[in-house]
Structure 1
Amino acid sequence: MTTVKRFKPLSCAVLLGAALFTGALTAPAAYAAEPQMNAASTSTAALRTITVTGYGEVVVQPDIAYVQLGLHTTGKTAREAQEKNAKQFKAIHSALEKLNIPAADIQTVRFVTMPDYSWENNKQELKGYQVEQIVQVKYRNLAGISQLIDAATAAGANRIENVSFSSEKIEEYRMDAMDAALDNARLKAERMAKRAGVKIKETVQITDGIAPAPPVYLYNLPRTGSMSDAAKEESSESRVYPGELKVGISVIVTYSY
């Protein structure tokens, strides 16, 4: 036997109320979406920008030199090579002290002991050992760099790695270069804006493209072979020139218009 359930028909008032209630939910949602689209459109329109790279550079005189020099010795055993190196290096250190170089301005940058091989009868044979000791000397008397090199060489140094020049006020010079870079960026942006028929309004973003100024290497001697005879002959004629330092910085700036 099948049971049939009967439902009372809803009145028109109930149906109308449901329709109105549904409309109250959907209409504001649709209405709310429209301002978001307008805001996005307005935001996109506001992103009217010009991005440029500015570069600034200052040229200064170096006020400090870094001299890398040292000694290479050999021996039949590692101990013999090291003892020979230590003995000869005392004379070099004494020569540096006579130039009134403080101990704090002398720093060991390399000390290596290694076997010394040779090829004989198509095979490798151990000849002995070699020791290399290199120190970096911080020197502020730029006019006396040549004398420093000659004095170290006369004391037995047979390695002059290089001489680099820098400044102890390098950060101050970098700030000056940054000011010049910002001025350069503004000049570029204004030139571009004028050409495009618009006007710069304000700075939106600045990115620091700072790069450390490389040291200037102006003196470089071979790493191998003794310099004692040749250096003594040429020491009176050798010259080291500090030259100039160029400290440069770049910036990336975005302006609105």
Structure 2
Amino acid sequence: MKKIRQVSFLALALATLLLFSSCLSSRQQNSVVRTIEVTGTSEVVLQPDIASFSIQVQEQAPTTGEAQALANAKMAELLAVLRKNGVADKDITTTGLTLRPNYDWIDQKQVLSGQLASQSLSVTLRNLASIGTVIDQLGQVSSIQLDSVRFDKEDKTSSIQEARKKAVDDAFAKAEMYATSSFMKVGKPVSISESSFASNGYSVRAKTMLASESLAMGTEVPTGSLTVSASISMVFEMY
């Protein structure tokens, strides 16, 4: 009788151990989290509402004072054109002001040719409809340099948000496609990270303009469009 009890106890212990092992194995399998990582991208097209460009004047004369007076007079003409066309003072910034001697090389010798005075401005134009007119009027001032007209949008906040939302939608769509192809379902996002974001204006080259140049036709400066883009990396649970 005692022997039968011992055998029964051992059988019960073995059964309990097997049941525990089975539960543990099942729990371990359930604790394995299957994931998939995808990248969502998007682009949003928007219209520019500002233009920026730089203007430079440079004059040479026998003395620094004379060169500076010539440069100042020319700069005054440019500023008058800008202000007449509604450009506010806060949108006109001096980016360079130089007074220096200028030398030429003659017979392998450095010879003083005069004194140079130069000044450059950075200008932001908010009325894009007037950009052709402004450039034409600036071009009436003799021997100036106008560099790289650049178009941009001053406030891109809403466009950036739209691009991010579209990137998230794109990531979800990709995860759903991969899950369906693998006979699985998409769970909750495990992590989200913005891997890159780009927003670039573009430039238009403009050459030095001379007052003697004929302006039979007004300058046309198409503004085109801009693009903001977003790229988001997301990790999803899969089951």
Name the TM-score, length of structure 1 as normaliser: 0.74
Root-mean-square deviation (CA), in Å?
2.6
Distance 1:130 1:42 in 2: 81
Shift of 1:212: 4.0
Note the alpha carbon deviations across 1:59-115, whole angstroms, 9 max, x for none. Answer: 111111113223122233444322321121111111111112211111122333344
**Distance in 1 between residues matched to 2:77 and 2:205, nearest whole Å:** 23
Number of residues paired by the alignment?
A: 214
In the superposition, relative to structure 1, how do residues 65 and 194 fare at CA in structure 2: closer, same or farther (>3 Å)? same
**Do the aligned partners of residues 102 and 237 (structure 1) sit closer, same or farther apart at CA in structure 2, a change above 3 Å counting?**
closer
Candidates 200, 212, 220, aligned match of 2:205: 220
1:250 corresponding residue in structure 2: 231
Q: Aligned to 1:208, what secondary structure does the other structure show?
A: strand
List per-residue Cα deviations over 1:213-251 (Å, max 9, x = no partner). 11121x2123xx662223xx1462421000111111111
Output the CA distance in 2 between the equivalents of 1:113 and 1:191: 66
CA distance in 2: counterparts of 1:243 and 1:181, whole angstroms:
24
1:133 to 106, 114, 119: 119
Query: After the TM superposition, which residues 49-64 of structure 1 pair with which residues of structure 2 at under 5 Å, given as runs?
Result: 49-64=35-50
* 1:65 and 2:55 aligned: no
1:175 to partner: Cα distance: 0.6
- How far did residue 121 of structure 1 move? 0.7
Matched, 1:166 2:149: no
Moved more, 204-213 or 95-104: 204-213
Deviation, 1:210, is 4.0
**What percent of counterpart residues are identical?**
27
SS of residue paired to 1:100: coil
8 A Cα contact 1:71 1:85, kept in partner:
yes
The question of whether the paired residues in 2 share the 8 Å contact of 1:150 and 1:235 is answered with no
In the TM superposition, what is the alpha-carbon distance from 1:184 to its structure 2 partner? 0.9
- In the superposition, the TM-score normalised over structure 2's length comes to 0.79
Name stretches of at least 5 consecutive residues in structure 2 with no aligned partner.
Answer: 1-23
Q: Is the 8 A contact 2:192 2:235 kept in 1?
A: yes
Return the letter of the residue paired with 2:219.
Answer: S
Which residue identity is paired with 2:237?
S
Distance, in Å, in 2 between the alignment partners of 1:177 and 1:168 is 17
Deviation string 1:107-126 (CA, Å, 9 cap, x unpaired) is 12233334433221123333
SS in 1 for 2:43: strand
| 1:250 partner letter | S
Query: How far, CA to CA, are the matches of 2:28 and 2:119 in structure 1?
Result: 68
Cα contact 1:70–1:157 (8 A) shared by 2: no
For structure 1, the 5+ residue unaligned runs are 1-37
1:55, distance to aligned residue in structure 2 (A): 1.0
1:132 & 1:249 partners in 2: Cα distance?
A: 42
Q: Which runs of 4+ in 1 moved over 4 A?
A: none
1:184–1:235 distance in 2 versus 1, CA, 3 Å: farther
Quick check: which one's strand share is greater? 2
Gap change, CA 1:195 and 1:110, over 3 Å in 2: farther
CA distance in 1, matches of 2:182, 2:102: 70
- The answer to whether structure 1 residue 145 and structure 2 residue 145 are counterparts is no
Equivalent residue of 1:248, what SS?
Answer: strand
State the structure with more CA Rg.
1
